[in-house]
Structure 1
Amino acid sequence: MQDLTTLAHDRTFQHYIALIQRVHDAFTGPYPDVAVRVRTVQIFAMLGDPVFLCRDVPIDRLRAEILAGVWTLLDDPATSGLVTRDEPERPAPRTGARRPGRPRALGEAKAEAARRMYEEGDRTVGEIAERLGVSRATLYRHLTGRAPSA
């Protein structure tokens, strides 16, 4: 077996260490205290072993067990010292009747008119859609439960 201390001088190994450091820094955030840095390293160390050693365990089960272990170790993330930054404030919800996104092709009045025309039975879905200026698919969405299964 090769002495692992010889790897410390290998360029690839140095890149690997630098990558681990960047990931660690991303998780701890700017200006972490020692407790946060240590706990983050402990979490990384804990995650490495089950993934490598339990390759025969289905990934969903392994993920659940790993997360359960993390929460057990941390007990409560809010008091563990790992969560150190306040969450940014979310903007207040918009008020008013407008909803985001594209406007509906059929307003409530037109949808009701379409339902009446359809229930009268003297027009086809295609004719109703053409008269209202919408596609048949849009009309069928508004006739849910009333559309024929053709």
Structure 2
Amino acid sequence: MTTLALGCDTISETERAESPTGGVELSLQILRTGEQKYELYKVTAKGEIEYGGGFKAFNGTTGWTGRLTPEEIREFLVVLASTGWCDTEPHDDPESTTRVAIEVRCDEGRHTWSVRGESEEVKKMHALLDPIARRRLESDLDRLPDPNEPPPDATG
């Protein structure tokens, strides 16, 4: 496991008051190398969620940004608190081929970890963020025909 504490990047009172997340930020990169499935989720202090999949995630970049609702922000903060990542190193499974990179900015400062395996904490955060990030697909899904309607008459 790699642990890196990045200075004393604590959240100021002004930022805490003005930010929808209270200044809290998270980056969660999950690289399932055995499946070649790569995901990157970022929650920003602006109350936005960013998502990157595939090679974008592998390279640490995102391609979609959406806004979190106040309820989603509350849920995010509760799940983040339950992970302990603001003050405790994440669990590591040295036998796993899955790589997880976590960067979190909380009142306690900014912490960055690289671990192996999807711990219960990683699974909880993924279970929260993935459905939110799937909103990026809504416009495509809205264009699809309604499966309950008969297909248009092809004979014209």
Above 0.5 in TM-score? no
Greater Rg, structure 1 or structure 2?
A: 1
Structure ranking higher in helix proportion: 1
Relative contact order higher in (CA < 8 Å, ≥ 6 apart): 2
TM (norm. structure 2) is 0.27
TM (norm. structure 1) is 0.28
